[in-house]
Amino acid sequence: MSSTTTAAATAARERVFAMMDADGDGVITAHDYLSRVDRAVRATERTEDDPLVVTARAEARKAWGAMDADGDGRLTFGEYNAWVGADKFDNVCRFALGSLFDLADTDGDGEVDKAEFTLLRTALNNAPGNAAAAFDALDADGDGRVGRAAYLASIRAYIVGDSSPMGEALY
């Protein structure tokens, strides 16, 4: 990675970290991270016995366990920045983020509309206006739908420091 890419990735990761730090205390705790699923479940009005909720909770626990390598229940930005990257996204984060996307995909077709996208991203601590702008940036063909693969690819690009119009608008 070049120093420019590293700087872009670090800046993006700082913004993602701040969004995950639900109480704004500078540390992501297990509660901060796992409550993302709680908020998404409430926002989508799914029930605890819904298989998608069960999957989202399991994937979030796996992701948290991988991120909190020392098991102290706290993740500093330094720990997060050292951990996250393309490999971790591909092998850990995409499953947790994909399962949250699935909660918002009300008809299960692998795509969300702007309302579903905004509902999800707002539940995950993004400002509603940012979420709506991010949807518009990601909906390149203007059909009013965003697919799961494009959504995940855009988040991956953002955290590794590549161009991501969705990420720039969202965070």
Domain positions in the chain are: 3-170
Element (H, E) at 147: strand 146-147
Residue 131 CA to residue 97 CA, distance in Å, equals 15
Which two tokens mark 45?
Answer: 């009005």
Residue 56 CA to residue 95 CA, distance in Å, equals 9
Q: pLDDT of the chain along its 171 residues, tens only?
A: 444 458 888 999 999 999 999 899 999 999 999 999 999 999 999 999 999 999 999 999 999 999 998 999 999 999 999 999 999 999 999 999 999 999 999 999 999 999 999 999 999 999 999 999 999 999 989 999 999 999 999 999 999 989 899 989 988
Phi, psi of 116 (to 5 degrees): -65, -45
Q: What was the pLDDT predicted at 3?
A: 44
Residue 73 CA to residue 123 CA, distance in Å, equals 22
Contacts of 103 (CB under 8 A, 6+ apart): 40, 41, 44, 46, 52, 53, 56, 120
Query: pTM to 2 decimals?
Result: 0.92
Which residue carries 């009005």 as its tokens? 45
- The amino acid present at 15, given as its one-letter code, is R
Which two tokens mark 140?
Answer: 């390149």
For domain 3-170, is the CATH number 1.10.238.10? yes
